[in-house]
Each structure stands twice: as C-alpha cells, then as structure tokens.
Amino acid sequence: MSHSQILIIGGGTAGITVAAQLIRKDKSLNISILEPSEKHYYQPAWTLVGAGTYKFEDTERSEARYIPKGVTWVKDKATELNPEKNMVKTAKSGDITYDFLVLAPGLIMAPELLPGLSEAMDKGVVCSNYTNPNHTWEVLQNFKGGNAVFTQPTTPIKCGGAPQKIMYLAEEYFRKSGVRDKTKVIFATPGTVIFGVEVFAKTLNKIIADRDIILKTFYAPVKIDSAKQEITFKYIKGDFDEYSKKLDARIMEKMSGETEITIHYDMLHIAPPQQAPDFVRNSTVSMKEGPGKGWVDVDINTLQHLRFPNVFSLGDVAALPTAKTGAAVRKQAPVVVGNLLHLMKTKKVGDMKYEGYSSCPLVTGYSKMVLAEFKYDNVRDSDPLISTFVDTSKEQYSMWLLKKYVLPRMYWDMMLRGRA
C-alpha cells in the first residue's frame, strides 16, 4: 500500500492544472496523480476537427509532458473509492491512502443509456464530436441532403453548447458544398430554450431564424433505429395532445407512442448520454438523490466535499449547477488550491469562492463566434477587458481567432503549467 499527502484522481484539464498550481506554491508537497491515459487531448478543438478546420493530431499530446515536475504519476485507474478510510483501490497498483484527495476524473460516455445508440455510434451517418470528430467530418463531406438532425441527451454533458456549434458549422458547410437547398437542418434539444443566458439566446435565436434552422425544444431523445435511420424523441413539455396536432410536415415527423415523435435522419450528430465514472457513482462521495445524483457532492462555492472535509472536487465530475467546461476549471482550480492549502495549515477551509463562472465559445460559422461567459443562475459574466473592446454577445471574427489560435496555446502553455 502506498501513501500520498495529496492524491489527485484524474490527469485531465482539472487534475493537471491543480497539481501544477499546488507544486508552484509549495515544492515540498507530496502529490500523486492517478491517471491511466498516455495521451492528453485538447477537446475544445474537436468541434473544429468535426468541421474540417483543425487537425485531430494537433489536439493530442503526450500525458507525460504535462505531469508537473515533482509530482508522482501513478499510471493506473481508480476502481473503488472509500473516503471513510481515506483509501482508493486501483486496477493494478494496489491500494493508495491519502491525507487529502482531489477528485478530478472527468466523466464518461454512456451511449448504452440511449437504446440503439451503442450500435449506431460513429458508424454510417451517425456521428459525434464527443467520441470521433474525424468521423463527423467524413459524414459532413458525404452528406447529399435530407434531414440533418443535431441533438443532445437529458443527462449533463461536457460543454452544453457543443451540440449546436457543430450544427452551425455544418449548416455553413452544406451551403458551401451545394446541398443546403435540399437539406433541413434540425436542432432538437430537451431544453426549454436554445441557451440559458438571455442576451446570448437572443443572438442565437436570430441566427437560427436567419439561417432557416428548425429548432425543436422539449425534445428528449429516447431511441435510435439505425437500420431505419430514425430517432425517436419524447416531448417533455406536457401538452402533447395539443402539440401532436401540429407535427412538422417539413421534416416528416410522425407520432409513435403517447408522447413520442419519430424523425427520419439522413445524418445524425448526437452528444451521447454522459455520467460520472463508476467508482465515483458507487462511492459515498457521490450524491444519492436529486438532479446531482451520481456526481460528487461538493459545496458549490468552496468546492470542498459536504461530508468529507479532506476531499475536494472540480471539473466535470463535480455536482455544480454550471456548464462543464475547461473555462470553468480555470476558475475552479485556484479555489481548490487556495482552500486546500489553507485547510492543511489551519484545519479550516479557506475563504476563496467559486461563483460558477463558465464560458461557452459558441462557434456560429467558419469565421464567427459568440463568446458566452456566465456564472451561477445564468447571470452574464463577461471578461471586463475583452468586453471593453468587443461585444461578445454578437458574432465576431476576433472571437473566432481567439477560439482557433489563442485558446489552445493558452491551454497547453499556461493553464496546464499552473500559470493561468
């Protein structure tokens, strides 16, 4: 059995950033990162890969390059977590005990939660930037017209804006490739609106209207039939009897079941259902009830666990009512680091607070982007410096340049090095 003063589970964006910041503040700390992957990916660029404007290989680097100097890399995965005993079981490295734990293992794709998706995933005309953006690009290039359906599940997902970003890019690509006039672009979402923050929703709704995109809200995907190329949605608003009288003939909607609507697709882009890793969901660190069920039960401001004071969590796995993005991690990491170090010195958590900041760089075309920044309760939280020069609630070429060229460099050279 090995022991770590601070054990970080997860060597993705959150785990590496926290480790880098901790070791910068105190080189004497005994820190271990538990992470099985050899490769580290800059996933925000996968949207651009799926649209053919970024190379997948440019999003991939060796994990070893980013393990901070002075931090021990345990190249293994957690299989069981027992916070009552301050212990983690691993697949092949035995048990690890810890004084303090930082949970940052991210989330996992769970296509099996949507019947028919596992069989259809990344094959033929069904694609997902979340799993294989190169296949998305192949599907776009091969598309000859018909119903192009873009959708997302009812579970929390990484970057809630990603399913619509690829839709905007695809719509522009279809115009370039000459098939737009025989294509219906459909965005079907279980959500009530296109975006939760009103000022950004206003811009997006105008784009949807101007570009003749068919928006379907309250559409929760429940089943995929890849043989028939059909996807079935449950209409979750509650007024189905009234709604069913107005089925959309443009896209050949048909009723199937008491509250279900089936649509034929000629291409389908879907974000698969997502959930916390099994070892988290099966542990007492996770919430057992409510909307955060299965995710790590932390104070939404201090990021300290609500029942195990020596445990902190951040990133995708934490039960936080904000978008799961790398931008959120950039604001969460200093809070975890500051509060953890304060706890180690004084036995009391520090007073640093995370206010729910997240950002969604909403790519709306091949040279346009809306930079949506917000915090808890869907309150706009735009960067004061950028906002002085640019209206980030409108489509901007400068924001596209930020997305494609500046943010990746900031990620690799600043954030993962503990400098941003």
Any idea what the CATH number is for the domain that residue 247 is in? 3.50.50.60
Does 217 share its domain with 197?
A: yes
Does 148 share its domain with 93?
A: no
pLDDT at 246 > cutoff 90: no
pLDDT category of residue 321 using cuts at 50, 70 and 90: very high
* Residue 151, phi then psi, degrees to nearest 5: -150, 175
Q: Which of 159, 311, 328, 337 is catalytic?
A: 159
Specify the number of domains making up the chain: 2
The pLDDT of 322-349, averaged and rounded, is: 97
Does 137 share its domain with 202?
A: yes
Known catalytic membership, residue 159: yes
pLDDT category of residue 162 using cuts at 50, 70 and 90: very high
Q: Which of 273, 300, 317 is the last residue of a domain?
A: 273
Does 88 share its domain with 172?
A: no
Give the pair of three-digit tokens for residue 168: 């905007």
pLDDT category of residue 379 using cuts at 50, 70 and 90: very high
- Reduced to 3 states, what is the DSSP secondary structure of residue 298? strand
Does 141 share its domain with 269?
A: yes
The pLDDT of 126-143, averaged and rounded, is: 98
Give the pair of three-digit tokens for residue 211: 């570009």
Nearest one of 203, 216, 213 to 368, comparing CA atoms: 203
Q: Which of 273, 304, 336 is the last residue of a domain?
A: 273
pLDDT at 128 > cutoff 90: yes
pLDDT at 314 > cutoff 90: yes
Query: Do β-strands 146-151 and 267-270 pair in parallel, antiparallel, or remain unpaired?
Result: parallel
Q: What is the pLDDT of residues 197-232, one digit of tens each?
A: 999 999 999 999 999 999 999 999 999 999 999 999
Domain that holds residue 243: 111-273
Does 260 share its domain with 282?
A: no
Q: What is the pLDDT of residues 7-48, one digit of tens each?
A: 999 999 999 999 999 999 999 999 999 999 999 999 999 999
Separation between Cα atoms, residue 304 and residue 297, nearest integer Å: 9
236 within a domain of the structure (yes/no): yes
7 within a domain of the structure (yes/no): yes
What is the average pLDDT score of the chain?
A: 97
The pLDDT of 354-378, averaged and rounded, is: 97
**For residue 386, what pLDDT is reported?**
83
Does 121 share its domain with 267?
A: yes
Give the pair of three-digit tokens for residue 84: 């009552």
Does 218 share its domain with 351?
A: no
Does 258 share its domain with 302?
A: no
**For residue 338, what pLDDT is reported?**
98
**For residue 238, what pLDDT is reported?**
84
Q: Which of 16, 139, 329, 360 is catalytic?
A: 360
406 within a domain of the structure (yes/no): no
Does 6 share its domain with 51?
A: yes
Nearest one of 154, 158, 171 to 129, comparing CA atoms: 158
Does 288 share its domain with 228?
A: no
Known catalytic membership, residue 127: no
* Residue 358, phi then psi, degrees to nearest 5: -150, 165
**For residue 226, what pLDDT is reported?**
97
